[in-house]
């Protein structure tokens, strides 16, 4: 991520967003508050950083920061006083009201060097209710030189009052083939298609996951998922075997598989396509076998259970119990074996 930023690489699937943003800048009509929304791992934060960088640069060229002026050097050293990052103090925690109050005091002053002061809030959906209310007051009277960039992959979790005071830019997810070819250029010695699948189509996420050896975790969960489906392992044992895999990844991967299965129920051709393509053997077997034995109502219940689990990820959940419950629901979907 850091390297990508330093290279100032323009991601191809950002081009429509960049055009829109460049239009705002060219016409001097930059919204005072802008939400960058889209799926996780598609480079929204990178885009927000690049736009901030461009706006603060003293000598921008071809809609890019020059990288060598005084302002650029300050940004690259993370010491530019007019560029303020607001994030949770700990990953996964909320952004608290004290942070927004402290910010409000700073905003009454003029920017130090630049024409603008940029406040980048990421992830914006992590503002807790009080912090969001405090931000709302600031957004009502932002001051003419302050620009707010809010980055989120959960737009619907942002209060409607905040959304109504911002313009929203939807950052698109690249087509799968574009994501694979982008990743393959950066990681020529790795299986880009497989990594994109593991990252549910998100190329930046796939890039970051590639170094963490997460493929083995994915394969383990995939085989357990299939064994559960076939009744070859019980949910309690299966849950305990996943203990080394990050819980958020487990929920994300299973959700992705279940969504695929729901889609196949409505469009069986999709299953044929995936079953005969380059999908992993385990997933293909499930897809082929499920055509006649799936209980759609239970599948939707499982999906709801997974969304609920995702919402609970930041709280102190009992992971073993959570996973057992999910696995039991999954077993009950296969009317043949459970
Ligand atoms: Zn510059």
Could you tell me if 94 and 202 lie in one domain? no
Supply the pLDDT for residue 287: 59
User: Where among 186, 212, 238 does a domain terminate?
Assistant: 212
Residues with Cβ within 8 Å of residue 129, at least 6 apart in sequence:
159
Same domain assignment for residues 77 and 207? no
Structural domain including 254 reads 213-333
Confidence of residue 333 (pLDDT cuts 50, 70, 90): confident
**What is the per-residue pLDDT for 3?**
44
In a domain, 231, yes or no: yes
Tokens of 93: 């925690």
- Give distance in angstroms: CA of 50 to centre of ligand 1: 11
pLDDT digits (tens, 9 = 90+) for 109-138: 888 887 889 999 999 999 999 999 999 999
Check whether 293 has a pLDDT greater than 70: no
Could you report the predicted ipTM of this complex, rounded to two decimals? Answer: 0.99
Residue 150 shares a structural domain with residue 189:
no
Is residue 9 a part of any domain in this protein? yes
Question: What pLDDT score was predicted for residue 269?
Answer: 66
Higher local confidence (pLDDT), 238 or 257 = 238
Span 190-220, pLDDT tens digits: 889 989 988 988 999 899 888 787 888 999 9
CATH number at residue 225: 1.20.272.10
141 CA → ligand 1 middle, Å:
29
In angstroms, rounded to a whole number, what is the distance separating the alpha carbons of residues 33 and 15? 20
Same domain, 192 and 69: no
Ion ligand 1 residues within 5 Å by Cβ: 57, 65-66, 69, 72
- CA distances 181 to 16, 38, 161, Å, are 19, 20, 40
pLDDT at 181 over 90: yes
What is the spatial distance between Cα 8 and Cα 69, in angstroms, rounded to a whole number?
15
pLDDT band at 4 (very low <50, low <70, confident <90, very high): very low
| 96 within some domain | yes
189 occurs within a structural domain: yes
Distance 73 CA to ligand 1 centre (A): 7
**Helix, coil or strand: residue 37:** strand
Query: Is residue 338 in a domain?
Result: no
142/278 same-domain check: no
What whole-number distance in Å separates Cα of residue 166 and Cα of residue 164? Answer: 6
CA distance 135 to 148: 10
Which comes out higher in pLDDT, residue 179 or 333? 179
Using one digit for the tens of pLDDT, what is the confidence trace for 43-69? 999 999 999 999 999 999 988 999 899
- 205: in domain: yes
Cα of 92 to ligand 1 centre, how many Å?
33
10 and 112: one domain? yes
Reported as a pLDDT band with limits 50, 70 and 90, residue 272 is: low
> Does residue 195 sit in the same domain as residue 297?
no
Number of domain units in the chain = 3
Q: Within this chain, do residues 205 and 263 fall inside the same structural domain, yes or no? A: no
The CATH number of the domain holding residue 92 is: 3.40.50.300
Domain end point (choices 195, 212, 229): 212
Higher-confidence position of 279 and 10: 10
**Quick one: pLDDT at residue 7?**
55
């Amino acid at each position: 991520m850091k390297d990508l930023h330093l290279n100032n690489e323009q991601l191809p699937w950002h081009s429509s967003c960049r055009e829109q943003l460049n239009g705002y800048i060219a016409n001097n009509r930059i919204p005072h508050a802008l939400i960058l929304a889209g799926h996780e791992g598609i480079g929204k934060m990178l885009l927000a950083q690049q736009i901030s960088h461009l706006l603060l640069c003293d000598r921008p060229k071809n809609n890019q920061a020059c990288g060598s002026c005084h302002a650029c050097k300050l940004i690259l050293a993370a010491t530019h006083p007019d560029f303020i990052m607001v994030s949770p103090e700990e990953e996964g925690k909320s952004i608290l009201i004290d942070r927004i109050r402290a910010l409000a005091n700073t905003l009454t002053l003029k920017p130090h060097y630049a024409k603008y002061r940029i406040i980048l809030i990421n992830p914006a959906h992590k503002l807790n209710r009080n912090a969001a209310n405090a931000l709302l007051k600031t957004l009502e009277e932002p001051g003419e030189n302050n620009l707010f960039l809010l980055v989120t992959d959960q737009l619907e979790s942002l209060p409607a009052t905040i959304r109504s005071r911002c313009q929203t830019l939807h950052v698109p997810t690249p087509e799968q083939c574009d994501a694979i070819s982008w990743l393959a250029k950066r990681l020529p010695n790795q299986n880009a298609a497989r990594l994109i699948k593991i990252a549910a189509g998100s190329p930046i996420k796939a890039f970051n996951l590639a170094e963490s050896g997460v493929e083995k975790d994915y394969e383990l969960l995939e085989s357990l998922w299939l064994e559960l489906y076939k009744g070859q392992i019980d949910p309690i044992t299966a849950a305990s075997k996943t203990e080394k895999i990050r819980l958020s990844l487990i929920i994300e991967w299973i959700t992705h598989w279940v969504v695929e299965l729901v889609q196949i129920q409505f469009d069986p051709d999709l299953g044929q396509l995936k079953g005969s393509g380059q999908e992993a053997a385990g997933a293909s077997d499930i897809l082929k076998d499920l055509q006649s034995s799936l209980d759609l109502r239970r599948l939707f219940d499982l999906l709801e259970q997974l969304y609920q689990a995702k919402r609970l990820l930041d709280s102190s959940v009992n992971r073993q119990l959570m996973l057992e419950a999910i696995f039991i629901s999954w077993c009950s979907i296969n009317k043949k074996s459970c």
